[in-house]
Structure formats: structure tokens, C-alpha cells
Amino acid sequence: MFPVRLVRRQRRSPSLVRMTFTDPSLDRFADRGYDQRIKLVLPKPGGLPLSAFPTGVDWWAQWREQPADARAHIRTYTVVAVRPERCEIDVDFVDHGITGPGSRFAVEAVPGDEAVIFGPNADFAGEAGGLEFRRELGGTARQLIVGDITALPAINGILERLPADATGLVSIEVPHEEDTRGVHAPPNVDLMWSVTDRGDDQGDAVRQWLTALGPLTSDHAATTVIEDGVADSYWEVSAGNTAVTETADLSAWIAGESGRVRALRRMLVDEFDIPKAAVCFMGYWRSGVAAS
Ligand SMILES: Cc1cc2nc3c(=O)[nH]c(=O)nc-3n(C[C@H](O)[C@H](O)[C@H](O)COP(=O)(O)OP(=O)(O)OC[C@H]3O[C@@H](n4cnc5c(N)ncnc54)[C@H](O)[C@@H]3O)c2cc1C
């Protein structure tokens, strides 16, 4: 747990706001890149102070025991940048209006506002968790990376660390044309934008790419696990991230609104016969439903 305060707030695009957090303890925040997720704890207005947030190993159970109308909000975000030497980390928040505590924080927070971040500690030698992208397949299997604006920070993190010889498709859906700036992919990875303002259909773009690819061979025997990673959201990732390492033609990473992710799962698994174990399906949020 890193107790942090906001130090800078910078509008990156119509949909994204970059929040920079600081605390002396962030010199031990591990920079693992890719899709590293964190938990952000925000106090509920008029509720319990952040100092009442449990920090022991059983923090989750203890937090659940606190009164629901007073306990802090917990939301999931992605680390964009880590600067241990400056004790800072950056997180890009989607501004979807004053409709939830995370987005409200992105719109209304001011430098000095406090939060708690649950993330990887550089002193921890074990597997810290929170990474789903299959790093070992980055330069071998063809990549299919599909996401919406909430997944853009993770996709950027993945693209920054993909090897120069990586191949595949990255398909990103964003609300506005101006949200497409500043994303770079290796030369043999196609970067395709679907802009909802323009009426683009991301599903069609992915279907066309998969059709052009032709049949794939992969190990259908590999297993998958379904985790309840996000309340009311859909989350299905390969066990141990290693199931198809030997034979994979394709490694897919799909994140965004849960209903859309389910529809993409149907397309990949039912229409194109891609083994579930070759794909991480992650519902990052659910339309009309607040995270718990
Ligand atoms: C692993 C992971 C990584 C994530 N990384 C990021 C990240 O880096 N940046 C980021 O912004 N989000 C990210 N998300 C998504 C974020 O956790 C959700 O969007 C979350 O619901 C935001 O909380 P909130 O308090 O703003 O809204 P909530 O209180 O959860 O929801 C309130 C209302 O807003 C709606 N809503 C929630 N999110 C959106 C949205 N994006 N667009 C439109 N309506 C929405 C809900 O359907 C609900 O009706 C990530 C999620 C996961 C699981």
C-alpha cells in the first residue's frame, strides 16, 4: 500500500486526464510496465477517513466489513509511468463525467488530495501479480491486442515493451479523433483506430483482420480460468499465462467494456476457432454498473 497525494493533473486528450501521484515510499514502487494494474483507494465524501483503510494482509476482508455507505471506494487503474528517483507515478484516468468516484477524481481533484495505491513493491521478490499480457510471446506469436479508451494506458505500456520484430494488430476504440495522438507501434504491428464519433465499428475491423489471416493452429487442450477479478465484470485469462507458449500462432489480449469483450470472445472462439487459452479476455468496466 502506498499512501499518495496528487501532485499534478494534466489533460492529455478529450477523454484522458493524467494524474501524477507522489510520496517518499514511491521510490520502492516497481516499474514492471506492460498492463500493470493497481488498485486506487479514494475516500468517500463524508465517510471514513483514508487513515481507516485497512492495510494488513487481510485488508480486503476487513474493508468489506466496514459499512458500505462509509468505506472508501476501490477502483482499478493501470500504471503509465514510474519515476522512482522522483518518487512519482502517472496514471491516465478516463473522464466519463461525474458518474463515478474514479472519474470524479479525474475531473475535480486538486494537488494535495490524498489516495492510497495498492501496487507492486520493488522489494518483493515473489510474483507480484497484476500483469496479464504474455510477455514470453511478445516476439514469437502474432499479437492481437484489442481495447477501448480504458485499455489505452495498458496498450501503450504493452507497445512500449514489445520487441522491434513483433507482428500483429492493435485495435483501439476511442470516443474522439483527438484521443488517438501519441501512440506508436513496432513497424510490423498494424495500429488501427476506431473512433466512435466517426461511427467506426471495431468488431468489423477485427473480423476483417482475422479473416485475412486464415486458419491458425494452436493447442486446443490448454485450460482457462475464470476469475471474478472485477465485480460484475467479465474476466477470463489463461492459467499461469503459459498454456500455449509452445504452439501459439496468435496471442490475444482483449480488454474494455464487459459486453463488448464478451462479443469479441464469441467472435474469436466461435467464429474463428481460436483457443480460449490463447486469449486474455478482460472486462475493464460494465456499462450502467458501478465497480464495487
Ligand atoms: C485491470 C484494469 C485496468 C484499468 N485501467 C484503467 C485505466 O488505466 N484508466 C481508466 O480510466 N480506467 C481503467 N480501468 C477501468 C476502470 O476501472 C473503470 O472504468 C471504473 O468503472 C471507473 O470507475 P468510476 O468510479 O469512474 O466509475 P464507476 O463508479 O465504476 O461507474 C459509474 C458509472 O460510470 C460508468 N462507467 C465506468 N467506466 C466508464 C467509462 N470508461 N466510460 C463510460 N462510462 C463508464 C459505469 O458503467 C457506471 O454507470 C481499468 C479496469 C481494469 C479492470
**What CATH number did the domain enclosing 84 receive?**
2.40.30.10
14 by DSSP, 3-state: which? coil
CA–CA gap between residue 219 and residue 68 (Å, rounded): 45
Distance from the alpha carbon of residue 169 to the mean position of ligand 1, in angstroms: 24
* Per-residue pLDDT at 247: 52
The closest alpha carbon to 134, from 109, 112, 166, 164, belongs to 166
Our answer on whether the CB atom of 94 is closer than 6 Å to any ligand 1 atom is: yes
CA–CA gap between residue 264 and residue 276 (Å, rounded): 12
Asked whether residue 232 is domain-assigned, the answer is: yes
Confidence band, pLDDT 50/70/90 cuts, at residue 28:
very high
Asked whether residue 42 is domain-assigned, the answer is: yes
251 with 139, same domain: the answer is yes
Structural domain count, the chain: 2
34 with 106, same domain: the answer is yes
- CATH number, position 202: 3.40.50.80
Say if CB 251 and CB 237 are below 8 A apart. no
42 with 175, same domain: the answer is no
CA–CA gap between residue 88 and residue 55 (Å, rounded): 21
Our answer on whether the CB atom of 287 is closer than 6 Å to any ligand 1 atom is: yes
pLDDT digits (tens, 9 = 90+) for 60-79: 999 999 999 999 999 999 99
* Per-residue pLDDT at 275: 84
The residue-averaged pLDDT of 120-137 equals 90
Confidence band, pLDDT 50/70/90 cuts, at residue 223:
very low
Asked whether residue 65 is domain-assigned, the answer is: yes
Mutate to test the pocket of ligand 1, among 79, 98, 103, 172 (most ligand atoms within 8 A of CB): 103
Residue whose C-alpha cell reads 488517438 in the numeric block: 180
Our answer on whether the CB atom of 103 is closer than 6 Å to any ligand 1 atom is: yes
| Cell numbers found for residue 139 | 516476439
Residues of the chain with pLDDT > 90, as a percent, come to 78
pLDDT digits (tens, 9 = 90+) for 243-287: 444 456 899 999 999 999 999 999 998 999 888 888 899 999 999
Ligand 1 atom closest to 132 (CA): 1
Residue whose C-alpha cell reads 502506498 in the numeric block: 2
pTM of the model: 0.94
pLDDT digits (tens, 9 = 90+) for 144-188: 999 999 999 999 999 999 999 999 999 999 999 999 999 999 999
Mark which of 84, 118, 152 sits at the end of a domain. Answer: 118
Mutate to test the pocket of ligand 1, among 76, 148, 285 (most ligand atoms within 8 A of CB): 285
60 with 157, same domain: the answer is no
177 with 218, same domain: the answer is yes
83 with 159, same domain: the answer is no
83 with 52, same domain: the answer is yes
Ligand 1 atom closest to 286 (CA): 47
277 by DSSP, 3-state: which? helix
Distance from the alpha carbon of residue 154 to the mean position of ligand 1, in angstroms: 13
CA–CA gap between residue 192 and residue 206 (Å, rounded): 9
106 with 146, same domain: the answer is no
96 with 139, same domain: the answer is no
Confidence band, pLDDT 50/70/90 cuts, at residue 241:
very low
Closest C-alpha to ligand 1, atom 23: 102
Ligand 1 atom closest to 291 (CA): 30
Which residue range is the domain that position 61 belongs to? Answer: 2-118
Our answer on whether the CB atom of 289 is closer than 6 Å to any ligand 1 atom is: yes
Mark which of 59, 85, 118 sits at the end of a domain. Answer: 118
Closest C-alpha to ligand 1, atom 45: 96
Amino acid, res. 40: L
92 with 180, same domain: the answer is no
151 with 273, same domain: the answer is yes
151 phi-psi bin (left φ>0, alpha ψ -120 to 50, beta other): alpha
To the nearest whole number, what is the mean pLDDT of the chain? 90
Asked whether residue 124 is domain-assigned, the answer is: no
Asked whether residue 127 is domain-assigned, the answer is: no
pLDDT at residue 221 is higher than 50:
no
